[in-house]
A and B are shown apart, each in its own frame.
Chain A
Amino acid sequence: MNLDDMIAAERSTPAAATQTQAGEVWRSIEHSFVSVAPATGAPVAAAKASTVGKLGGALTSTAGKLLLATTLVTGGVVGANNLASRGDDTPAAEPFSPAASPAPPTGPSAPPQATATPEPVPQPRQVQQAVAAQQPEPPAPQAKPARVRADANPRSSIKEELALIRETQSAIRSGAHARALALARRHAKTYPDGAFVEDRDALRTLALCESGNTKAAISVSSFLERWPKSMYRSRIEAACE
């Protein structure tokens, strides 16, 4: 058999997934699509998602995670819009209160801290407050005590958790690995079953690898074992080679 015959054979019968495999792969893609944050730094998307998280303060952890993560991937403003209108239907909907505010005003009568035009409808005011809260430098250190305290309120935990993850991410980006590890530890303590456990594990592993920590190898193998289909996988493999 010569090369051309083999080429013809490979062209007619290449490696192919079975129907079952194809279906399984699609389901895992769908799953990751809604449950995983971008592996490479997408600060814009993250910022948007975080704000969306604030809007969706009243959502349950699972629903919030789903919508958040979807927005992380798609980065759609339309997604944010959907979420905002969804808030209207949620009976327990509560206006967002900025994390750093010591005595967060609650209820629709809260004084608007908005920079944009005031709105009689509660929902837009929440939006504007979210804007107002987003305006200052993203993860300010003085926000920490508020974040820990806010854990008592499950409604704000998603956005707090995401803020912590983002802070960890930016610590890694700026090369502050020790800080990133400390933040990851705090996340593990505060949100042992949080919505972003995979992200935390991934970021911790990255921080260990990039700082040349001796625990890196163990961390990599346990990460890949726990999250074999993680979107962080290639990034971790690149960093921990």
Chain B
Amino acid sequence: MDSSVARNGQGVEALAAAVRPTAPPMSEPKRALGQTAAKQALEDVYRQHRRFVWRCLARLGVADPALSDATHDVFMVVARRLPEFEARASIKTWLFAICLRIARSKRRDYAREKNRREQYGRTRVGAREEPHGRADAARTLRDLLQQLGEDKRTVFIMAELEDMTAPEIASVLGIKPATVYSRLRLARAELDRAVQRHNARECREQGDTR
């Protein structure tokens, strides 16, 4: 029994070597990573980082109804790529890069959503009774973020909301740290103006309703 298992093992190894003649040799740890372990690893990443992924996708402009789908898609990429992840970058920056790509494709899905944002001034959703509640303020910021260009929005999210360092951001985006700083400065300035416009509009609307 034992010997047949051992022989089986040899057979499978020979087989594996035969079917991937051009592939680089698999390292021992990777070979040891069976399907159960792979799924367990995926589950661990999901448990630890699902909140991070979800909020990043929301900040990157994925509409609420699409967040479940987008999160699913992110973790499908993770499932495929996790063995390649070698802790050169932090897992958060790695996940963020995946979120960026998924968010891009989801935003294309929701072009209608973009339309809605363009009419932001007139048909703002939820002029709520308590407009400055925390959750509302957070949502307003997420809406305003979508008025920024993608480059600035991305840097702003990573730096201001996720506390990533400039070198980390630079390495994920493939830009220079100096560019990170300048984009961040521009993003803040632009958002500041957007917030002022938003506040002025709120005032007007409140005046109208009285």
Chain A positions near chain B (C-beta within 8 angstroms): 1-3, 5-7, 9-17, 21-22, 24-26, 28-30, 32-33, 36, 38-40, 42, 44, 47-48, 50-51, 70-71, 73-82, 84-85, 116, 119, 121, 123-124, 127-128, 130-131, 134-135, 228-229, 231, 233-234, 237-238, 241
Which residues of B in the span 19-34 have a Cβ within 8 Å of any Cβ on A? 19-20, 23, 26, 31-34
Q: List residues of chain A with CB within 8 A of the CB of B135.
A: 9, 13
Which residues of B in the span 72-92 have a Cβ within 8 Å of any Cβ on A? 72-73, 75-76, 79-80, 83
Q: B128 to nearest A CB, angstroms?
A: 14
Q: Are A80 and B54 interface neighbours, CB within 8 A? A: no
Q: List residues of chain B with CB within 8 A of the CB of A10.
A: 59, 137-138, 141-142, 161
Interface of A: prevailing SS: helix
Q: List residues of chain A with CB within 8 A of the CB of B46.
A: 26, 29
Contact for A13 among B11, B76, B102, B134, CB less than 8 A = B134
Q: Are B11 and A74 interface neighbours, CB within 8 A? A: no
Interface of B: prevailing SS: helix
A231 and B69 CA atoms in complex are apart in Å by 10
A238 and B108 CA atoms in complex are apart in Å by 10
Q: Are A2 and B19 interface neighbours, CB within 8 A? A: no
A-B contact pairs, 16 of them (CB 8 A): A3-B192, A7-B161, A9-B134, A13-B134, A13-B138, A17-B68, A25-B68, A29-B76, A32-B79, A51-B15, A74-B39, A116-B11, A119-B7, A127-B14, A234-B73, A238-B105
Q: Are A134 and B18 interface neighbours, CB within 8 A? A: yes
A91 and B16 CA atoms in complex are apart in Å by 26
Q: Are A84 and B11 interface neighbours, CB within 8 A? A: yes
Q: List residues of chain A with CB within 8 A of the CB of B38.
A: 73-74, 76
Q: Are B141 and A134 interface neighbours, CB within 8 A? A: no
Q: B117 to nearest A CB, angstroms?
A: 16
Which residues of B in the span 105-161 have a Cβ within 8 Å of any Cβ on A? 105, 108-109, 132, 134-135, 137-138, 140-142, 144, 160-161
Most B Cβ at <10 Å: residue of A10, A16, A77: A10
Q: Does B170 contact A (CB under 8 A)?
A: no
Q: A16 to nearest B CB, angstroms?
A: 6
Q: Are B68 and A78 interface neighbours, CB within 8 A? A: no
Contact for A121 among B4, B34, B79, CB less than 8 A = B4
Q: A156 to nearest B CB, angstroms?
A: 18
Q: Are B191 and A11 interface neighbours, CB within 8 A? A: no
A20 and B119 CA atoms in complex are apart in Å by 32
A127 and B4 CA atoms in complex are apart in Å by 13
A3 and B195 contact, Cβ closer than 8 Å, known pairs A13-B138, A29-B42, A78-B31? yes
Nearest 5 A-B pairs (CB), nearest first? A15-B58, A78-B34, A9-B137, A14-B55, A127-B11
Q: A87 to nearest B CB, angstroms?
A: 9
Contact for B19 among A13, A30, A131, CB less than 8 A = A131
Q: List residues of chain A with CB within 8 A of the CB of B18.
A: 131, 134-135
Q: Are A32 and B72 interface neighbours, CB within 8 A? A: yes
Q: List residues of chain B with CB within 8 A of the CB of A38.
A: 80
Contact for B54 among A3, A12, A17, CB less than 8 A = A17
Q: Are A234 and B80 interface neighbours, CB within 8 A? A: no
Q: A83 to nearest B CB, angstroms?
A: 9
Q: List residues of chain B with CB within 8 A of the CB of A73.
A: 35, 38, 79-80
Q: Does B50 contact A (CB under 8 A)?
A: yes
Q: Are A127 and B12 interface neighbours, CB within 8 A? A: yes
Q: List residues of chain A with CB within 8 A of the CB of B97.
A: none
A9 and B138 contact, Cβ closer than 8 Å, known pairs A17-B50, A74-B34, A80-B16? yes
A3-B192, A29-B75 known, 19 other contacts, Cβ within 8 Å: A10-B142, A14-B58, A14-B59, A15-B138, A17-B50, A17-B54, A28-B68, A39-B76, A44-B23, A74-B35, A76-B34, A79-B34, A81-B8, A85-B5, A85-B8, A119-B7, A127-B12, A134-B18, A234-B73
